[in-house]
Chains A and B, each alone.
Chain A
Amino acid sequence: GQSLEQPSEVTAVEGAIVQINCTYQTSGFYGLSWYQQHDGGAPTFLSYNALDGLEETGRFSSFLSRSDSYGYLLLQELQMKDSASYFCAVLTGYSTLTFGKGTMLLVSP
């Protein structure tokens, strides 16, 4: 079966750095994606890693270690608007994106 594990909730203060981890066990692996979803909104794509290493996009970075079946999303200079749910998702095959259960990030002043 497919399983993706990520923490259910993370809290942090404005301006801080937070890391959301994701470990996966899947029958196929093409890459790891991250999506952000605000309450009542749609998931929106943040980043994708197909190869080991760090990808940086502004305040957000994503890391992948294929040998450890592990990745993380790093959010820097946290802002109130970053309060949302963050999902890791593995591209397991043709047209198949398997999502984790999501991590709710609460950013306080």
Chain B
Amino acid sequence: DTAVSQTPKYLVTQMGNDKSIKCEQNLGHDTMYWYKQDSKKFLKIMFSYNNKELIINETVPNRFSPKSPDKAHLNLHINSLELGDSAVYFCASSQTASSYEQYFGPGTRLTVT
């Protein structure tokens, strides 16, 4: 069984479109994250949720909106996609918000044309 799963794995879309990425973890963890990894492999936190509550919201455009329907799921919706949004988006989870070990999903490669 996959610990942290994401769908879709690949997403190719045009500028201006709206898209969503879904994430699920079956580890029973309290905390979930979204990271963006750019073409230079720089990995940056975007959002963090603890028990469905938003606790970290880095400087991310308002076009990005996370949603956590329950503590096992964290989705990311992106409006009005731009070329600069092309990246790999990773979902991750940890046992608690103060845990140092995070478990990453396989990533979603988003390409905006």
Q: What residues of chain A have their CB less than 8 Å away from a CB belonging to chain B?
A: 30-31, 33, 37, 41-45, 48, 50, 85, 87, 91, 94-99, 101-102
Contacts and interface: CB of A to CB of B under 8 A. Distances in A.
A30 B44 CA distance: 18
A87 B31 contact: no
B64 interface: no
Nearest to B101: A45
Contacts of A31: 100
Q: Which 6 A-B pairs have the closest CB atoms?
A: A42-B104, A95-B97, A99-B43, A95-B48, A48-B100, A45-B101
A35 to B, nearest CB: 8
A45 B100 CA distance: 9
Interface residues of B, number: 24
A43 B90 contact: yes
Contact of B103 (A45, A48, A85, A102): A45
Interface of B: 31, 33, 40-45, 48, 50, 55-56, 90, 94, 97-98, 100-107
B56 to A, nearest CB: 5
A101 B48 contact: no
Contacts of A41: 106-107
Q: Is the interface of B mostly helix, strand, loop or mixed?
A: strand
A50 B98 CA distance: 13
Contacts of B102: 43, 45, 97
Contacts of B90: 42-43
A103 B63 CA distance: 31
A37 B90 CA distance: 12
B97 A102 contact: no
Given A42-B107, A96-B48, A101 B100 contact: no
A43 B104 contact: yes
B50 A95 contact: yes
